[in-house]
Structure 1
Amino acid sequence: MAVLTIEFDNFLCFDNFVADFTYPKKLVNSSLKNECLKKFPNIRVRKANIIIGSNASGKTSFGRAIWHVFMFLKNKEAIKITSLIKNVNKDTNILMDYIDADGLFSRIEILAKANNQGIDVKIRQLEAKPNDTYEMLVKRLPNDVLFENYIVALEKIIPLGWNFVFPSIESGGFELIYCDFIKEEEKPLFCKIFKNVLIIMDVSIKTVYPSNEVENSYIIVFVDNTKIHISHGDKINEIKKLSSGTKYAANIAQILFCISKYKNGFYFVDEQFSYVNSDIEIACLSKMISLLGDSEQLFFTTHNTEILNLNLPIHSFNFLVKEKNEDGVQIKWLNASQFEKRNNVRIKNLYDNNYFDISPNVNPIFDIGESC
């Protein structure tokens, strides 16, 4: 499954927000192969979506909003939408276009009516033809479909695959989260990936293996043969002997494992490397991208601008910007290709020179200590 477009209005911190994950023109000699649907080569989808933004620019909120939409589609629970409504006195509108590997194109529109008057959903679907583009699909969408109660409408939805990993503070109390659905025969591969991530973060770690006593638990062994036991749901701040960055190794390993096994299709990795060395973050991200299968997407948020040096298409780099307006603030989604069409330009140089006009204003910091 590939998500093509998302729109939010009056949802969480987003108003009149549009994010497009397609690109219009086939790239020559692109460093990232197969950025299209295998059976539908003219439907071009950005596989790698690097999201950079200043503090409080909406990176985690963006992932959280998408996650709540996916949960709503899966579980048909109104609370997944109503809990994120920004202003209950206004309608909330959400739109998502996506397509599966076999060419079933879906447009889902969610309307949460003002003052808690209920949620209606409109679902329009059609089968893609071999030469279709995204724009052609949108034009062919039927116009005779009406909004209906979400319980009825969502019966038409085929379950979607997704994997979201948020910072521990966003995931419910600093909990360690990794695959609790790993099959027995898959555990050797997961342990190998887990070990490789652990040993690059901490040279005092020797190996890791699954616990035979506790389900969904692993034993980390150090070079001095001391051991620690970790389990799914453990409180990260209570895990002893691991550094702040190393504690995130399990989350990083589970994402690498799931991508390598094509388990989910849509991956959102949010701020998992805040305590991790820049070179390690870049290496892990590069491997995640290289492991992506056909019709799969990775969304990756970071503060590390060194990632802008990666050899990726210019449209892989996105920026979230919070701007003041008459109503307060608005968050905008900007793609680097909106500013620079050439694919051989070093994005990092443009960013360092504030070409995208998104650098934070740090002058108030330098005013500290100055006389009033």
Structure 2
Amino acid sequence: MHLIIMDLKLDNLCCFRDFHVNFSYPRKVENEYLEGFPNFRYKKINIIMGSNATGKTSLGRVILSIFNFIDKRNADIITRFISNKNKVASFSMDFVDDNKLYRIHAVFDPSDDYIYSSENIKVHIVSTDICLRDNYESSAKRLDSMMIRSNKSNYIIELEKLRRLSIDSIFNYGIKANNKYLNVLEHILRVLVPIILNVN
């Protein structure tokens, strides 16, 4: 089982200000759903495009850093990406892991000496089981109500609610085991770059 990012919000991290991207499908699309949960729809392949210096690489780095933050329990992994250290920075991510929808919401308050500690880092994590008839929107609403009631605690203790993540669990999409994804990738790349003959 690999992780599936459903929703991401970033503020004051790298070049991102009030950034929000959602990877769910509000309507039914063939084969674009969580296995065993046909109403829980998500975009299985996403292509980030743009000209130079528009934030494509930064987005990838921030996403990877969020997962490294979860794995290593080390705030420096995220705080080095804070753009303006005199302002609050934050991220929120909804993701699926083992048929549960999780939300991690982190806020980094500014400090006088620009050193971040448990006093100015707040992390809230909530989760809900995905039920057979659930879609992302209904599951996310349950998370919304849980966030209101969630308790504040030391961010390292709060991160213990999540399993430690390896790079393989984040990026192992099983392409070698399933030629369908390789075929989709080839068609997409050939549309974007017509000189590509094939992908193997």
1:289–1:154 CA distance, 2 compared to 1 (3 A): farther
Query: 1:261: Cα distance to partner?
Result: 5.0
1:288–1:14 CA distance, 2 compared to 1 (3 A): farther
Whether contact under 8 Å (1:43, 1:134) holds in the other structure is: yes
Work out the CA distance in 2 between the residues paired with 1:305 and 1:114.
46
Q: Deviations over 1:79-132 (max 9, x none)?
A: 1111100111111110000112x4211010011111235322100111111001
Query: 1:149: Cα distance to partner?
Result: 1.8
Question: What letter corresponds to residue 108 of structure 2 in structure 1?
Answer: A
More strand by share: 1
Question: What letter corresponds to residue 85 of structure 1 in structure 2?
Answer: I
Whether contact under 8 Å (2:11, 2:17) holds in the other structure is: yes
SS of the residue corresponding to residue 50 of structure 1 reads: coil
Question: 4+ residue stretches of structure 1 with deviation over 6 A?
Answer: none
Does 2:14 correspond to 1:129?
no
Which aligned pairs between 1:205-284 and structure 2 lie closer than 5 A? 259-261=175-177
- Could you tell me which of 159, 174, 179 is aligned with 1:154? 159
Work out the CA distance in 1 between the residues paired with 2:137 and 2:181.
30
Does 2:100 correspond to 1:104?
yes
Aligned to 1:118: 120
Work out the CA distance in 2 between the residues paired with 1:259 and 1:286.
6
1:109–1:308 CA distance, 2 compared to 1 (3 A): farther
Gaps of 5+ in 2: 195-200
Q: Deviations over 1:246-267 (max 9, x none)?
A: xxxxxxxxx89x63259xxxxx
Whether contact under 8 Å (2:175, 2:182) holds in the other structure is: no
Q: Normalization by structure 1: what TM-score?
A: 0.44
Query: 1:287: Cα distance to partner?
Result: 1.4
Aligned to 2:197: none
Work out the CA distance in 2 between the residues paired with 1:104 and 1:306.
35
Question: What letter corresponds to residue 79 of structure 1 in structure 2?
Answer: D
Whether contact under 8 Å (2:175, 2:181) holds in the other structure is: no
1:288–1:77 CA distance, 2 compared to 1 (3 A): farther
SS of the residue corresponding to residue 19 of structure 1 reads: strand
Gaps of 5+ in 1: 164-254, 263-283, 291-301, 310-372
- Could you tell me which of 5, 18, 21 is aligned with 2:20? 18
SS of the residue corresponding to residue 48 of structure 1 reads: coil
Whether contact under 8 Å (1:259, 1:288) holds in the other structure is: no
CA RMSD across the alignment: 2.8
Identity, % of aligned pairs?
36
> What is the aligned residue count?
179
Work out the CA distance in 2 between the residues paired with 1:120 and 1:47.
31
Aligned to 1:307: 192
1:129–1:95 CA distance, 2 compared to 1 (3 A): same
